[in-house]
Amino acid sequence: MSTIANPQETAKAPVPISKRKTKGADLAKALIKNKMSLVGGSIVLIYIILAVLAPLISPYDPYEIDLVNKLQSPSADHIMGTDDKGRDIFSRILYGSQLSLAVGFVSVFIGALFGIVLGIISGYYGGWVDTIIMRFIDVLLAFPGLLLALAIVSALGPSLINVMIAVGVFSIPTFARIVRGSTLSVKKMEYIDAIRVLGASDLKIIFVHILPNILSPIIVQGTLRLATSILSVAGLSFLGMGAQPPTPEWGAMLSDGRDFLFTAPHIALFPGIAIALIVLGFNLFGDGLRDALDPRMKN
């Protein structure tokens, strides 16, 4: 005589706190062992510390104009020199790290928020809902990311807030596709069917049982997307569509320094190095995080 499995037994049991701590410890060990993630994480951590401590360690006011000392080369008084208005470049880079990190995190949050909602609804309900959402995502993907951001900023007007919105919008398709694919995979599992039989609502199934199981690819993509967002924001500011003078934003500083590449190259050199290092840091850390969270990469 065949027996029918109890749905309550089939449903996925909650993960004990001790097991969660063990998984967290294993992830930390994997990240430490991975040289790429260790280097990338160290770079990102240094930038975060500098951004937080910028008001304390900045030797000068980043907005203070001193025309007497303009275009000075790096020296003991100004370790990265001064720009064409006599402002200390090191101080401006420190404060610029606050802006770049804040704009990067906010824009990725916007893209992830809408991308997760659209992707999980599309993957869970399927049918005409999936068709409509995916066609909308295809429309967004039809435009190159930076071109779409330029169009949005041109419509809304140049400012850092509008740049965050623009970069967030062109990040939506990436998150939506990843979340949709992961949702399609998870919703086919037996414990989802068992929970549904027990009478759980769609919202509970989506946000309690599906979303926690697809967080790994979202976190990895978010980390990698931070590098792209910071680079895109710097590019838009370089074109004059983002931060406006005298805001100490790295892309805008690069734009100011392009007229002095031969007479005072340090004006553009140091902001360029700052951008390159933070992008490298997030990319390396994201790659290491992906390797640590992907079971196929553990061997």
- More confident of the two residues 148 and 58: 58
Mean pLDDT of 56-60: 92
pLDDT at 4 over 80: no
Domain assignment present for 20: no
- How many domains does the chain fold into? 1
pLDDT of residue 121: 93
pLDDT of residue 24: 63
Domain assignment present for 33: no
What token pair was written down for 100? 């770049």
Kindly report the number of other CB atoms within 10 A of residue 43's CB atom.
19
Q: How far apart are CA 39 and CA 284, in angstroms?
A: 7
Domain assignment present for 1: no
Q: Which helix (H) or strand (E) holds 112?
A: helix 89-125
Question: E strands, the chain, where?
Answer: none
Name the residue among 220, 213, 249 with its Cα closest to residue 103: 249
Q: How far apart are CA 100 and CA 253, in angstroms?
A: 12
Q: How far apart are CA 111 and CA 175, in angstroms?
A: 7
Contact call for residues 171 and 115 (beta carbons, < 8 A): yes
pLDDT per residue over 190-217, tens digit each? Answer: 888 888 888 888 888 888 888 888 888 8
pLDDT at 101 over 50: yes
Q: Which domain holds residue 276?
A: 103-299
- More confident of the two residues 243 and 169: 169
Domain assignment present for 130: yes
Domain assignment present for 177: yes
Q: How far apart are CA 254 and CA 186, in angstroms?
A: 46
Domain assignment present for 77: no
Cα separation values, 180 from 216, 266, 286, 289, 290, Å: 14, 46, 21, 21, 18
What is the percent of the chain with per-residue pLDDT over 90, rounded to a whole number? 42
Name the residue among 125, 126, 134 with its Cα closest to residue 176: 134
What token pair was written down for 6? 């109890």
Q: Residue 189 maps to which CATH number?
A: 1.10.3720.10
Please give the mean pLDDT across all residues of the chain. Answer: 85
Contact call for residues 92 and 248 (beta carbons, < 8 A): yes
pLDDT of residue 79: 93
pLDDT band at 23 (very low <50, low <70, confident <90, very high): low
Contact call for residues 43 and 278 (beta carbons, < 8 A): yes
pLDDT of residue 151: 87
Place of tokens 């996925």: 12
Domain assignment present for 272: yes
pLDDT of residue 7: 41
pLDDT of residue 267: 92
pLDDT band at 294 (very low <50, low <70, confident <90, very high): low
Most confident segment among 5-14, 76-85, 185-194: 76-85
Domain assignment present for 28: no
What token pair was written down for 75? 């020296």
Structure letter (DSSP) for residue 88: B
pLDDT band at 6 (very low <50, low <70, confident <90, very high): very low
pLDDT of residue 21: 55
pLDDT of residue 208: 85
pLDDT of residue 207: 85
Q: How far apart are CA 259 and CA 2, in angstroms?
A: 82
Q: How far apart are CA 80 and CA 296, in angstroms?
A: 45
Contact call for residues 284 and 40 (beta carbons, < 8 A): yes
Give 192-200 contacts, CB < 8 A, sequence gap 24+.
193/10, 194/7, 194/8, 194/10, 194/11, 195/7, 195/11, 195/12, 197/7, 198/7, 198/8, 198/11
